[in-house]
Amino acid sequence: MRGIFLAGLLAAGVGAAHAQPTADARDDTTGLFCVYNALAAGEHAALVANVFLSDATPEEDVGNAALVVSDATRVCSETFMLSPSKAASASDMGIYGVAVDHLSAILREQGAGKPAIDRLFAIYDELDEDDVARLFDSDWRSDVEFAGRLKRSLVAGGVPDRDAAIDAAFDIFEVSAMAGQAIFTFLVDDL
């Protein structure tokens, strides 16, 4: 399954690297990054990211974020003639993309430069199938060996050894795993 997943990523032109949309997302011809492009270009990206990343969000913000994502998804679905499954995956990618953008900004505020953030994504790319699967477990951060190994790699790669920076980096790992799943779902919809 992982081989199909990676082959699909490469075929989509996104590569296994950086589940976060990049400048290449602006050249999207499939619709996968359409919602991300719309959210990132709009004034509500931070709202959507905060609602996704926080459990303590006012209901009004949740409703407003849902409306923004829904509107972007509808436009993208019509523009690219996306199936409901592909539209849902594109919506997920939009949310995940602005969340990673937001988390990357937190890392920069914590003192991580572009090389450290690039290294973070390289570390994610080097995770094996079991490691990525582990990121979906709600208790993975309490696994001292696993979380410790990731933290050591992050700090060695230039992420500041501060709780806020490590938490943001760990959140990026989790969101990247979810984005990988959304990409896979988008691609298998054509099979």
Judged against a pLDDT cut of 70, whether residue 188 lies above it is answered with yes
Q: What mean pLDDT value characterizes the chain?
A: 89
Helices (H), the chain: 2-11, 34-41, 45-53, 59-80, 84-109, 114-126, 129-134, 144-156, 163-188
pLDDT of residue 24: 58
Q: Per residue in 93-139, pLDDT tens?
A: 999 999 999 999 999 999 999 999 999 999 999 999 999 999 999 99
Is 99 buried (19+), middle (13-18) or exposed (0-12) by CB count in 10 A?
buried
CB 104 within 8 A of CB 134: no
pLDDT tier for residue 191 given thresholds of 50, 70 and 90? confident
Cβ atoms of 175 and 96 within 8 Å: the answer is: yes
Please count the structural domains in the chain. Answer: 1
Domain around 152: 2-188
pLDDT of residue 190: 82
Per-residue pLDDT band for 178 (boundaries 50, 70, 90) equals very high
Instruction: Please say whether the dihedral angle defined by the alpha carbons of residues 28, 30, 32 and 38, taken in this order, is positive or negative.
Output: positive
Tens of pLDDT, residue by residue over 58-105, are 999 999 999 999 999 999 999 999 999 999 999 999 999 999 999 999
- The C-alpha angle with vertex 33 and arms to 30 and 38, in degrees rounded to 5, equals 120
The pLDDT confidence band at residue 25, using thresholds 50, 70 and 90, is: low
What six digits make up the tokens of 169?
């980096």
Judge whether residue 19 has pLDDT over 70.
no
